[in-house]
Amino acid sequence: MSYTTRFRLADDFIAHVDTIITAIHDPFIISRQIGFVVLSAVTVYELAIKDILFDFADKKHRVLSTFTRAYFEQLNGRIKLATIRDDYLPRFGDKYVARFRKHLAHAEKDTLQSKHLSIMNCYANVIQWRHDFVHQGITPTNATYNEAKISFEIGKEAIHCLAKSMTR
């Protein structure tokens, strides 16, 4: 299964919430919907990252595949870009770290120019908002529903950069 199919889980949820969000006038309920959007977003990010790493290892070697699946099965939301770059990718070799840095820098520049948004900031915001929602019961006070949606979409680019980096 392609890692991109994982995005559909959150995309479908967001599409459903889009149909009802304008009818909701209670700020508490809206804030909870934002929390559920970022929760869904980080879940699919995590699943996509695992798919990318598992697929890469499966294609390389059976022993690497076994190790990768055992080591990365329990990411549990530990998917910050710094963690991917500084902890996960070096286990596969420095060339994958360099590729990831290059692809992410290029995508960041393009997205800043075209959309005036930072992939790295959007991705980090989604992860932080999810962390606050899940572990502290705090919903993003500095983000609207649309900002959460846009951040999820822009953040997907970081996952695409990882996928490009891990191709043989």
Q: What pLDDT digit, counting tens, does each position of 111-148 carry?
A: 999 999 999 999 999 999 999 999 988 888 889 999 99
Rounded to the nearest 10 degrees, the angle between the axes of helix 27-60 and helix 145-165 is: 10
DSSP state of 58: H
Sequence-distant (≥ 6) Cβ neighbours of residue 125 within 8 angstroms: 140, 143, 151, 155
CA trace torsion 76, 82, 86, 88 (10° rounding): 30
pLDDT for residue 52 = 96
C-alpha to C-alpha distance for 162 and 53, rounded to whole angstroms: 9
Q: Which residues of 7-45 are buried (b: 16+ CB within 10 A; e: fewer)?
A: beebbebbeebeeebeeeeeeeebbebbbbbbbbbbbbb
pLDDT for residue 140 = 80
**How many distinct structural domains can be found in the chain?**
1
C-alpha angle 15-36-140 in degrees, rounded to nearest 5: 115
Residues in the chain with pLDDT values less than 50:
none
Domain around 23: 3-165
Sequence-distant (≥ 6) Cβ neighbours of residue 56 within 8 angstroms: 68, 92, 166, 167, 168
Sequence-distant (≥ 6) Cβ neighbours of residue 161 within 8 angstroms: 100, 103, 104, 107, 119
The length of the chain in residues reads 168
Q: pTM here?
A: 0.94
